[in-house]
Amino acid sequence: MKRIRVALAAVAAGSALVLSACGGSPSEPAAAKTDGALEATDITVGVLPLADYGAVYWADEHKLFEKEGLKVTLEPIQGGPIGIQKVASGELDYAIANTISASISQAQGAPITDVAFTASLGEGSGAVFVKDDSPIKTIDDLNGKTVGTNTTRNIGDVTFANLAKSQNKDVKPNWVEVPFNEMVSGVQAGSIEAGYTPEPFWSAAEKAGMRRVVDLTNGPNENLAASIFVAGNQFVAKNPDTTAAFARAIYAAGREMSANEQQVRGWIPNVAKVPADVAQTMVMPTYSSAMDVEALQKVATMLKDQGLVPGDLDISKYLYQLPRD
């Protein structure tokens, strides 16, 4: 099956905030026991207008949620940390997140379940860049250099460490947190020596004359599972049929978008606020049409290798799987 690529923007998870909001000792998600009757038909989903989460907008606009008997309210949120906090506390039913942030939060006790896997990194969709006249030429030159990323312990620095390890390189940048929309200006001003951005920010950096030093989607990071939707464990346990319906709609959207790349490229500016010309050329991640336990376990293994989660973390305990998965 052909799978298109749509731009990824990383979101972080504030694990400490999640745990303080939840209180108590979280339980693992219960196994789904469905009978076809929706427990809830009106649901609220925390979203960001980013192309990597485009399936939720596609499902809404193309009535895929309605087909499943769901009435969905899309509630804008600032990012993954807020989404994870709000599903854990029951303020939202579902929300966007990324696999790295969610796995770290789950390992630290956040009572959340990955209910749908929606996209993987697209080849060339994330890069560390510098000014064109920078003396930094290779990954080795980044050792000890100040490199911006939107949040630490997230896709930028974690995939960098994964790539460096695969090349047997002991390269440790000094990562500092910089919003993506300020990354180019930070490099230009010299407040940071290099910056990490995903698409569509990388395309903007390239247009501004920046030079890519490292492609973080190569090697062990190729097609890395990245974007997911999460829900609170209690909500999933009480609403297995509703969760199944939500997941089916997201995966149906993924299949439709995969089969209609040019239509998606024309449509995505309405969602991601990407200029139409950029949407026609930007790197796109791979949309998913099913849960992929092996792909998400690969992320967990990467995090174990970096000491970010315990070695005994079994990611399958935190995934909601439809019967056909």
pLDDT tens digits for range 203-222? 889 989 999 999 999 999 99
pLDDT for residue 272 is more than 90: no
pLDDT at site 177: 92
**pLDDT, average across residues 118-139:** 95
Alpha helix ranges (H) inside the chain: 15-22, 54-61, 64-67, 80-89, 99-107, 155-166, 183-189, 201-207, 233-238, 240-258, 261-267, 269-272, 276-281, 293-305
pLDDT of residue 240: 95
pLDDT level of residue 142 (50, 70, 90 thresholds) = very high
Mean pLDDT is highest, among 13-22, 79-88, 293-302, for 293-302
pLDDT (mean) for 278-291: 90
- Write out pLDDT tens, residues 181-190: 899 999 999 9
Count the helices and strands in the chain (H runs, E runs).
14, 11
Residue 69: which region, alpha, beta or left (left: phi > 0; alpha: psi -120 to 50)? left
**Is residue 279 over pLDDT 70?**
yes
Q: What is the mean pLDDT of residues 254-261?
A: 95
Q: What is the mean pLDDT of the chain?
A: 88
Percentage, residues of the chain above pLDDT 90:
70
Torsions phi, psi of 110, nearest 5?
A: -65, 130
pLDDT digits (tens, 9 = 90+) for 16-42: 334 433 433 344 554 456 677 999 999
pLDDT band at 12 (very low <50, low <70, confident <90, very high): very low
pLDDT of residue 84: 92
* pLDDT of 200 strictly over 90: no
Kindly indicate whether the domain formed by 126-220 is annotated with CATH number 2.20.25.90.
no
The pLDDT, as a whole number, for residue 283 is 86
Q: Which of 113, 107, 108 is nearest to 88 (CA)?
A: 113
Instruction: Return the higher-pLDDT residue of 28 and 152.
Output: 152
pLDDT class of 81 with cuts at 50, 70, 90: confident
What are the sequence ranges of the domains in the chain?
Answer: 15-122+223-318, 126-220
pLDDT at 195 over 90: yes
Overall fold of domain 15-122+223-318: D-Maltodextrin-Binding Protein; domain 2 (3.40.190)
Min mean pLDDT across 151-155, 226-230, 304-308 is at 151-155
Cα–Cα dist 266/270, whole Å = 9
For 2, the 3-state DSSP assignment is coil
| pLDDT of 72 above 70 | yes
